[in-house]
């Protein structure tokens, strides 16, 4: 049975109704500013790893606006079917129009409760999404459930704030602006899941074999420091945390963060970034 047919069978599944972390306005800025600065370099690396397995049916969870989806489509066999899913409809609405090639499908889905049949895919991949899963072991179990025997599970997660120059700079600047109540989105979620031992243990406990966890350091570059500041402060849920504390000061705060970024990393900023690439095989 084809991936498309199984997708149609699961199309009526119920989805969570809790509001997504990335609303429509944030999703646009995320795609325009944050994707080129942070996600496209890792998407290229992840797609290269996926290509080695020559998958014919790929499920991407927490696909966001499709940085990895586009890289996979460019690298994999045109006959390979890719299903890109995300919990945020706003992210899908921004990403889907950028990739409408045949055998590429976009769906609203929860990685912790996938609306797909058992043994349906030979590759499951997730770029910088697992940090947001409230129940990571359950999501890993779902990935194993929909994988065929021998199928591969591949995901990335950010290393610590200390190892990621731009994110650390933004976080430190905001802590200085709001010393009594600093916005903590970056350290609370995207840069919170980076212990190789515990990650490997959780993935192995979900039933995966030959689990590996490798650190990959890349360089992040932006056209201007203002782009970096806007990407983080407006193109992530940091925007809501800043507006909650200072609803009339967003532009001023972005400018202050941009000045800090420029002072540390130059007018055309360049900084190091680090992530963990985790892989496992379904028995």
Number of domains present in the structure of the chain: 1
In a domain, 231, yes or no: no
Whichever domain contains 21, its CATH number is 3.40.50.150
| Helices and strands in the chain: count of H runs, count of E runs | 12, 7
Does residue 13 surpass a pLDDT of 60?
no
The full DSSP string for 25-49 is: HHHHHIIIIIIIIIIHHHHHHHHHH
Q: How far apart are CA 132 and CA 212, in angstroms?
A: 21
Tens-place pLDDT, residues 20-33: 356 667 899 999 99
Q: Within a domain: residue 224?
A: no
Contacts of 100 (CB under 8 A, 6+ apart): none
- Whether 183 is in a domain gets the answer no
In a domain, 148, yes or no: yes
Q: Residue 39's pLDDT is what?
A: 98
- Residue 242 counted as domain residue: no
Tell me if 20 sits within 8 A of 89, measured CB to CB. yes
Assess if residue 85 is contained within a domain. Answer: yes
Residue whose C-alpha is closest to residue 101's, from 130, 128, 123, 70: 70
Which CA distances in Å does 12 have to 83, 89, 109, 150, 231? 16, 16, 11, 29, 35
pLDDT band for position 3 (50/70/90)? low
pLDDT of residue 11 exceeding 90, the answer is: no
pLDDT score, position 228: 98
Q: Would 111 be classed as within a structural domain?
A: yes
Q: What is the pLDDT of residue 136?
A: 98
Domain that holds residue 121: 3-159+189-219+274-281
- pLDDT for position 100: 85
pLDDT, residue 38, reads 98
Examine residue 115 and state whether it is found in any structural domain, yes or no: yes
Chain segment 57-94, per-residue pLDDT in tens:
999 999 999 999 999 999 999 999 999 999 999 999 99
């Amino acid at each position: 049975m084809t991936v498309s047919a199984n997708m149609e069978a699961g199309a009526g599944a119920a989805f969570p109704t809790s509001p997504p972390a990335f609303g429509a306005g944030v999703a646009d800025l995320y795609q325009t500013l944050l994707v080129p600065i942070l996600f496209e370099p890792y998407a290229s690396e992840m797609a290269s790893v996926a290509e080695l397995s020559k998958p014919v049916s790929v499920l991407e969870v927490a696909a966001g606006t499709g940085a990895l989806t586009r890289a996979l489509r460019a690298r994999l066999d045109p006959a390979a079917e890719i299903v890109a899913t995300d919990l945020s409809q706003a992210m899908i609405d921004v990403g889907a129009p950028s990739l409408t090639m045949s055998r590429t499908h976009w769906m609203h889905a929860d990685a912790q409760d996938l609306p797909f049949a058992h043994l349906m895919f030979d590759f499951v991949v997730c770029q910088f999404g697992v940090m947001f899963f409230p129940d990571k072991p359950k999501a890993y179990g779902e990935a194993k459930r929909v994988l065929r025997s021998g199928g591969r599970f591949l995901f990335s997660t950010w290393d610590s704030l200390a190892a990621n120059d731009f994110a650390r700079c933004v976080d430190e600047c905001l802590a200085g602006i709001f010393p009594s109540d600093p916005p903590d989105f970056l350290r609370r979620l995207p840069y919170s899941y980076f212990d190789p031992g515990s990650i490997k243990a959780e993935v192995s406990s979900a039933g995966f074999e030959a689990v590996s966890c490798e650190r990959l350091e890349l360089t992040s570059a932006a056209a201007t420091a203002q782009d970096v500041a806007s990407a983080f402060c407006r193109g992530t849920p940091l925007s809501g945390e800043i507006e909650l504390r200072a609803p009339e000061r967003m532009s001023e705060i972005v400018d202050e963060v941009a000045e800090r970024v420029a002072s540390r990393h130059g007018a055309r900023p360049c900084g190091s970034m680090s992530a963990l690439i985790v892989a496992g095989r379904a028995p």
